[in-house]
A = this chain, B = another copy of it.
C-alpha cells in the first residue's frame, strides 16, 4: 500500500465518521442504519459524482471493496465511541481538513489523467472533496457546508490552482502534492482560527 492510498483511506474514514455523527447529532434518536447510510454517502459521494461526471467507470468504491469495509468499520467506531468523538471536535477538524486536502489533489490528478483540461480538473478536485458533505447536508436538511461562512471549498479550489501552477513550473510531482495539500490545510486552519471569510457577494448593495 502506497502512502497516498493510506492517506485516501484516512480521508474516507473521516468523511464516513463526519456523516454518521452529523445525522445523529441532528436527530438524537437516529438508528444505526440512518447514521451508517449517511456516513456511507458522505464518504463516497464526492468521488462518485466526479467519476460519473467524467464518465470514468467503474466507480472507485465499486471496484475496490476495501473502501466499503473501511467505511463500515469507521461507522461502527463512530457509534461505539460516539461521546468521545464528539469531544474531539478540534482533532476532528484537523482530520476533516486533511481529508478534503488529499481528496482535492487526488481527485484533480484523476481528472487530469482522464484528459480533463486544467480548469475542469481543479473543479473536479474540489467536487471530490466537498460534494460528499453537500449530499450529507441535503439528506439531513442542513444548510450545505458550502454556504456557511468559513472558507472551505474555496481553499480546495485555491490549492488545486496552486498545484496546477507548480506543475506548469515543472515542480516534481510528490513535492507538488505535499506542498498543495499543506497549502489547503494552512488556508483552512487559518480561516477557522481567525474566522476568515470571503467578501460578501452583495456588498455593492446600496
Chain A residues engaging chain B, CB cutoff 8 angstroms: 20, 23-24, 27-37, 48, 52-55, 57-59, 61-62, 65, 68, 78-83, 116-117, 119-120, 123, 134, 138-141, 143-144, 146-147, 149, 151, 153-154, 197-202, 204-206
What CA separation (Å) do A116 and B140 show in the bound complex? 29
Cα-based distance from A55 to B27 in the complex (angstroms): 34
CB-CB under 8 A for A37 and B139, given A20-B201, A55-B58, A119-B65: no
**Least Cβ–Cβ distance between A163 and chain B, in angstroms:** 18
- Chain B residues near A55 (CB, 8 Å)? 55, 57-59
Indicate if the CB atoms of A24 and B202 lie closer than 8 Å: yes
Distance in angstroms from A118 CB to nearest chain B CB is: 9
Contact of B83 with A24 in the complex, beta carbons under 8 Å: no
A79 contact set on B, CB distance < 8 A: 201-202, 204
Q: Are B24 and A82 in contact (CB under 8 A)?
A: no
Which residues from B are CB-within-8-Å of A61? 120
- Please indicate the chain B residues that have their CB under 8 angstroms from the CB of A65 in the complex: 117, 119-120
A30 and B201 form a contact (CB under 8 A): yes
B206 & A147 in contact (Cβ 8 Å cutoff): no
Contact A34 B201 (CB under 8 A): yes
Residue of B62, B80, B141 near A116 (CB, 8 A) is B62
With A53-B52, A65-B117, A139-B138 as contacts: A32 and B201 at CB distance below 8 Å: yes
Report Cα–Cα, A134/B52, bound state, in Å.
Answer: 19
Q: Out of B82, B139, B144, B149, name the residue touching A201 (CB < 8 Å).
A: B82
When C-beta atoms are compared, the residue in chain B nearest to A135 turns out to be B138
